Structure 1
Amino acid sequence: MTSIDVVVPNYNYGRYLRACVESILNQEAVTIRVLIIDNASTDDSAEIARSLARDPRVELVLRTENLGTHASFNQGIDWAEADYFLLMFSDDFLVPGALKRAIDIMEADKSIAFAYGRDVSVRGSAAIPQIPPQPDPAPFRLHQSRAFIKRFCRLGVFQIPGPSIVVRTSVQKRAGHYRTELPHSDDYEVWLRLAMHGPVAELDCIQAGIRSHDANRSTELWAHQIQHILHTAAAAKSFFDHEGGSMEGSRAMRRLAQRGIANRAYWSGVSHLIRRDGEAADLFKLAFRLSPATALIPPVGYLVNRPDTLRRIGSFLAGRGVASKRYVS
């Protein structure tokens, strides 16, 4: 039976921790280990973690001081030794059968670097909803390595639910650690590095749940769109300054990323302008700085390339902001 190691970093999310870990342990048809890394929580997280560790598949690291999320991510990578690897925050959860669906696809094609699927959103402390059984085997699309990276460059954003990403452990080891100099877009940069090692499978089914609440790691970023765009630009720069610089045509790809991020800033500026939000001016300045052509010609093609354009327009007209905790539109 194939195996997977799941790392669950935690800080003061005791109220969500049990549901998260149980959603992992209840996965079928795969051998599982879970490592809970608690970063000196001041709530009841440690007590809950100890009760979960009564299951022999659960291991604990209970820190006496908060070393930050990167220390947890990277310790988890060093600890992993199973066939597959998953890193998920303790306020998220897996859908039944998620690990088997992803691993079956990756076992059938050993070249795949990682697989991900869709997510369901849960607000605050609401109960995990009843999710209809998902197709097994799951339909999926295979993105070749260069095409996956190019899509990010063209759009200037990833639209991937982080807790759904199942990585081949050997690929994660080769890609290496999360970079501490990227406090808010470290995941983007790692996903780009992972994709250099093989194709990416996108499952057409719900694989994980993302819980949105005021204490989320990235809540503040959602309130200030320009900050997230700047962090995305930093991730792209880091990637092309390091591993991505060895790609054939990396200079052209770097320019494409700069233009994609500029186009994203432009349309974010338009959205903020319509809402009479003061951040619009800064977004336009960023867009014009990164790609001066946007000051003369609106980048309409960018909207055509985004698969979620119609959904975003509908949400805006309905007066609903579309914001997901770990991937921003």
Structure 2
Amino acid sequence: MSSVSVIVPCYRYGHFLAQSVGSALNDQDGVDVRVLIIDDASPDDSAEVAKKMAADDPRIEVLVHTENKRHIATYNEGLLEWADGDYTVLLSADDRLAPGALTRAAALLDAHPEVGFVYGHPVHYTDGGPIPAARTSVRGWTVWPGHEWLERRFKAANGCITSPEVVVRTKLQQQLGGYDPALPHSGDIEMWMRFAAHADVGYLRGVDQAYYRVHAASMSKTDFSGQLDDLRQRAAAYDAVLQRCADQLPDAQAMADTVHAKLARQALWRAARAYDRGRTALVPVDELVGFAAECWPDYQRLPEYRGLSMRRRIGPAVMPYLQPLILSAFAHKGREWLWWKSWRRRGI
């Protein structure tokens, strides 16, 4: 029977622990699961809640910080110092696993020793709202060569994983290390790509592997200045992979060109959309253009830059009214002006 170590970092989320930990211990047939709850010096009763759970279930352990170490140090403490199962999961206290998620992931990892980590579809749901029923019947799985999966990420220039849906081979995790403290908001992207440079990647098709809780407060908060920080953090993550995994990436320069051009296009598109939506006073347009120039010296030849230049000529006062007509015209010409992919990052 395969064993799974589940680390549950917690800060002021003690009221979610029963759901989160319960999802890892219940309805996970055929795997031996142990859970470590790490309370990062919560100012509420989270530590007491965790200790009560551990007293009632020998599969649960608790570690309480006397001082707040923040998320990266807390994650790595569990991943690199405590986990000793065949496979490892990092599960935030406000998220939960789907029924059978560990069973399905362990089956793929058992069958494919070349796979370093496996993931599946996460269900996003709003805090306080109904929780959709998870799909639990596997339609099959896909195993990508690590470099192929990595190239896809460089072409997309964004993450495709939220986090709770990932199960990692513990040996690989501890061999390659954990989250990079220099990447507080994109350390997960960098880590998955670092793993893919050394191992293959598995994906479970047709099933839901985890529930990702979207807090209502975060849904109503729009941080326009954070758009630039998001791009910079992603660029730093990709550059870190290129540097650290250079020996495993014979086509590193081509991959660097691909992701830098893509990030430049995304920055210019965000700047253009600020005109479309009448938000030029809120969105750091000039800084986004500056970031594009840093990423891709030839940024002025990109189609997104031409679109931004056109919007600047029209002006921010008129552009929101003309935006539907202009977008339709470009779509008719086959231009990719409707590109926008949300990239949510939790506070990591």
TM-score class normalised by the smaller sequence: 0.7 to 0.9
Report the counterpart of residue 18 of structure 1 in structure 2.
18
**Alignment CA distance shift 1:123-1:223 (3 Å):** farther
- Please give the alpha-carbon distance, in whole angstroms, between the structure 2 residues aligned to 1:299 and 1:199: 34
**Alignment CA distance shift 1:244-1:76 (3 Å):** farther
Report the counterpart of residue 312 of structure 2 in structure 1.
none
Report the counterpart of residue 170 of structure 1 in structure 2.
171
Q: Which runs of 5+ in 1 are unaligned?
A: 301-311
- The within-5 A match list for 1:169-248 is 169-204=170-205, 205-213=207-215, 224-244=226-246, 246-248=248-250
Q: CA deviation at 1:263?
A: 2.2
Contact 1:221–1:228 (CA under 8 A) maintained in structure 2 = no
**Alignment CA distance shift 1:36-1:244 (3 Å):** farther
- The within-5 A match list for 1:266-305 is 266-278=268-280, 279=283, 280-298=285-303
- Please give the alpha-carbon distance, in whole angstroms, between the structure 1 residues aligned to 2:254 and 2:269: 23
- Please give the alpha-carbon distance, in whole angstroms, between the structure 1 residues aligned to 2:156 and 2:343: 17
- The within-5 A match list for 1:61-140 is 61-77=63-79, 78-127=81-130, 129-136=131-138, 138-140=139-141
Q: CA deviation at 1:299?
A: 6.0
Where 2:35 maps in the other structure, the secondary structure is: strand
Cα deviation digits, residues 195-247 of structure 1 (max 9, x gap): 1221111222211111112677xx88787222111111111122222234552
Contact 2:118–2:166 (CA under 8 A) maintained in structure 1 = yes
TM-score (norm 2): 0.81
Report the counterpart of residue 46 of structure 1 in structure 2.
47
- Please give the alpha-carbon distance, in whole angstroms, between the structure 2 residues aligned to 1:323 and 1:254: 20
Identity of aligned residues (%): 33
Letter in 2 for 1:285: G
- Give the number of equivalent residue pairs: 307
TM-score (norm 1): 0.85
In terms of Rg, which structure is larger? Answer: 2
State which drifts further: 173-182 or 260-269: 260-269
Report the counterpart of residue 252 of structure 1 in structure 2.
254
- Please give the alpha-carbon distance, in whole angstroms, between the structure 2 residues aligned to 1:313 and 1:121: 24
Q: CA deviation at 1:282?
A: 2.9
Alignment root-mean-square deviation, CA: 2.6
Q: CA deviation at 1:284?
A: 3.1
Q: CA deviation at 1:296?
A: 2.2
Cα deviation digits, residues 66-86 of structure 1 (max 9, x gap): 011122111112211111011
Contact 2:134–2:208 (CA under 8 A) maintained in structure 1 = no
**Alignment CA distance shift 1:281-1:273 (3 Å):** farther
- Please give the alpha-carbon distance, in whole angstroms, between the structure 2 residues aligned to 1:222 and 1:117: 30
Cα deviation digits, residues 20-46 of structure 1 (max 9, x gap): 111111122210010111000011211
Contact 1:145–1:196 (CA under 8 A) maintained in structure 2 = yes
State which drifts further: 109-118 or 221-230: 221-230
Q: CA deviation at 1:295?
A: 2.1
Q: CA deviation at 1:182?
A: 1.4
Report the counterpart of residue 308 of structure 1 in structure 2.
none
- Please give the alpha-carbon distance, in whole angstroms, between the structure 2 residues aligned to 1:222 and 1:190: 26
Contact 2:99–2:134 (CA under 8 A) maintained in structure 1 = no
